[in-house]
Amino acid sequence: MVAETLDDLFIFAGESNIPLAEAICEYLGIPLQPTHFTRFSNDNLWIQLGTSVRNKDVYLVQSLTPPVQDHLFQLMMMLNVASTGGASQVTAVIPYYSYGRSDKKDAPRVCITARLAADLITTAGADRVITMALHSDQVHGFFKIPLDHLTSLSVLSRYFQLQDLSDTVLVSPDVGYAKKASQLANWLNIPLAVGTKVRLGDTQVEINEVLGSGELGRRAIIIDDEIATGGTMVKMAWTLHEKHGVEDVTLVCTHGLFAGNAINRIKEVPFVTEVVTTDTVLAPHAFGIPNLHVETIAPVLAEGIRCNHLGQSVGSLFAFWQEDTPKEVANKSKRG
């Protein structure tokens, strides 16, 4: 039976990003339900949902951020509690799905962890998944349950639409992200350039060439799905500066992890004037980056939750299917 109100919509949060869950609930005008966490002396985790979920439509918000294994197991426990507690439907809301990089066998005797994590989440009790900006679109197919793959591009587009983008080019550091970057470039009406990246290790990359470099301007906006160690972004920034004369670089991503030495690596690039990310990842240490700007994706996730609960289409929010302009998506979000 399709719901007509939000009365039976219950949202709980794991420990990875409680502020984002609170923002989602504030947008929807409903309370964040309590969750109790305890870790025993033997390191065993104990979780209790603080409200009965019987016959409720339950959404569990948890980003798979460091410590990834702890947060994944928290999510699995919460899914199991909600499923066995009589919830009518249980949806895992995973703003950042960390194992999206492990989407293939790139060496002998290795695990396709993105598939394994999908199976674990499903087995734990998820009926549906809502996520944001997967590193690899094929991860969508690893889930045997419905998955709504949302995008932050409309949010990022609105931010840059307020700026003077003359003499600006949008740059994707590799071919893999070029299709999504081209959507943003079209919306902003600026040219697109694409790097040819070769990964040498977890933190080392080489940029062999920049395709479309004839259209580069004084300013470049480099965009990728995430900034982990910052190696790719920094290498691309230096390539654009040294080989193509770019003087002003903005780094943009959906998921700002800023792991390891990423913050210092970015701060050492004098012509990086701004870093823009979203709040899919709770990373307070990132505010050590000068001119960091964090856009919230709470309205996008909230609209995904609302549409699912009310049995409405979420087509305009999909990452792989964009029919609306950023303004139309924004207006849909504001209407509530």
Residues of the chain with CATH 3.40.50.2020: 9-152+298-335, 153-295
Of the candidates 83, 54, 88, 66, which has an alpha carbon nearest to the alpha carbon of residue 17? Answer: 66
pLDDT in tens, 242-282: 988 999 999 999 999 999 999 999 999 999 999 999 999 99
Distances (CA, A) of 142 to 95, 107, 113, 220: 17, 19, 10, 35
Tell me the mean pLDDT in the region 22-45: 97
Whether 186 has a pLDDT exceeding 60, the answer reads yes
The SS3 of residue 321 is coil
What's the CA gap between 245 and 83, in Å, rounded? Answer: 56
Alpha carbons 64 and 14: distance in angstroms, whole number: 10
Structure tokens at 302: 């909230």
List, for residues 196-233, the tens digit of each pLDDT value: 866 655 555 666 677 775 557 799 999 999 999 999 99
- Beta carbons of 61 and 13 less than 8 angstroms apart: yes
CA 224 – CA 251 distance, rounded (Å): 8
Q: How many residues does the chain have?
A: 336
Fold of 9-152+298-335: Rossmann fold (3.40.50)
Task: Tell me yes or no: is domain 153-295 CATH 3.40.50.2020.
Answer: yes
Q: Where are the beta strands (DSSP E) in the chain?
A: 9-13, 35-39, 45-49, 57-61, 89-94, 128-132, 147-150, 168-172, 192-199, 205-211, 219-227, 248-256, 272-278, 292-295
41: left (phi over 0), alpha (psi -120 to 50) or beta: alpha
Q: Report the pLDDT averaged over residues 46-54.
A: 98
Q: Lowest-pLDDT range, 14-18, 87-91, 210-214?
A: 210-214
Q: Taking the CB of residue 33, how many other CB atoms lie within 10 A of it? A: 20
Contact 239/264 with Cβ under 8 angstroms? no
What amino acid positions are annotated as catalytic residues? 197
Is residue 324 scored above 80 in pLDDT? no
Two structure tokens written together for 295 = 């856009």
Mean pLDDT of the chain: 89
Place of tokens 């991503």: 253
The model's pLDDT over 142-164, given as tens digits with 9 standing for 90+, comes to 999 999 999 999 899 999 998 99
Nearest residue to 193 via CA among 222, 230, 167: 222
Does the reported pTM lie above 0.85?
yes
